[in-house]
Structure 1
């Protein structure tokens, strides 16, 4: 009798699904059971808390405003429900960093290159875009 009441109460909450979230830069996916009616922002918060509790590296922080959750190449708006897209595999990745330079925001580009032996990937920052713009703006054009 008690089991049937619990099942009726759970049915009103929405279906529960197992999702798999690959965090870019981390070793493996995080798997969570969530309600299909939960908002994407709530799920992102749960993912970041689970990631931190597991002690995974790199340390990401807990601010959901710094991350995107995407499914199938599409970034999900934080106000959507997680079940509205019909997928169970997601990617969580950090938003690109933005540098402020004399009142103009310039995105910092991240370039992935092979290391000298060609075995692994190393990350380096490419500042060529704003430097080229800055040097071009300083040039004095002749008539």
Structure 2
């Protein structure tokens, strides 16, 4: 009787996708299954929880509003949190922290010194493409 009830239940709407999310600075991707109709914000939340549960480094925190999800194969723009994860048709994503706004002054009214220039060659996409092109030589 119990088996008949399970068989008669309607199937979940939409297809399920195995997605892979690479966290910038982490050793490897996180993989989990989501419904293609799930919102990007919910996927970011699930990724952060999975990342913390696995004890990965660097520690990211749990505020999903501090992160953006990119699709390296599509555009250079972050995905909208209200977009569905299956709307682009891709399954590989990159999770990055949002850039922090620069502060122009301290609490006591003094102007802070300008931040030191970073020695990076560009955005995460340039770093990602460069790291893929590196070849390991065998001795």
User: What is the TM-score when the length of structure 2 is the normalising length?
Assistant: 0.69
Partner of 2:132 in structure 1?
none
What secondary structure sits across from 1:18 in the alignment? strand
Residue 81, structure 1, aligned to residue 89, structure 2 = no
Residue 102, structure 1, aligned to residue 110, structure 2 = no
- The 1:56/1:85 distance shift into structure 2, 3 A limit, reads same
Aligned residue pairs, count? 109
User: What is the TM-score when the length of structure 1 is the normalising length?
Assistant: 0.67
Instruction: Determine which structure has more spread, i.e. the larger CA radius of gyration.
Output: 1
Partner of 2:60 in structure 1?
60
Compare relative contact order (CA 8 Å, sep 6+) and give the higher one, 1 or 2. 2
CA distance in 1, matches of 2:35, 2:118: 35
Residue 21, structure 1, aligned to residue 29, structure 2 = no
Deviation at 1:111, TM superposition (A): 3.3
Deviation at 1:98, TM superposition (A): 2.0
Aligned alpha-carbon RMSD (Å): 2.5
Q: Which has the higher strand share?
A: 1
Consecutive unaligned residues of structure 2, counting only runs of 5 or more, are 107-113, 122-139
Deviation at 1:60, TM superposition (A): 0.2
Deviation at 1:53, TM superposition (A): 0.4
Deviation at 1:94, TM superposition (A): 0.8
CA distance in 2, matches of 1:55, 1:112: 28
Deviations 1:28-83 (A, max 9, x none): 00001000111000000000000000000000001111111001233100010101
Residue 92, structure 1, aligned to residue 95, structure 2 = yes
Partner of 1:128 in structure 2?
none
What secondary structure sits across from 1:31 in the alignment? strand
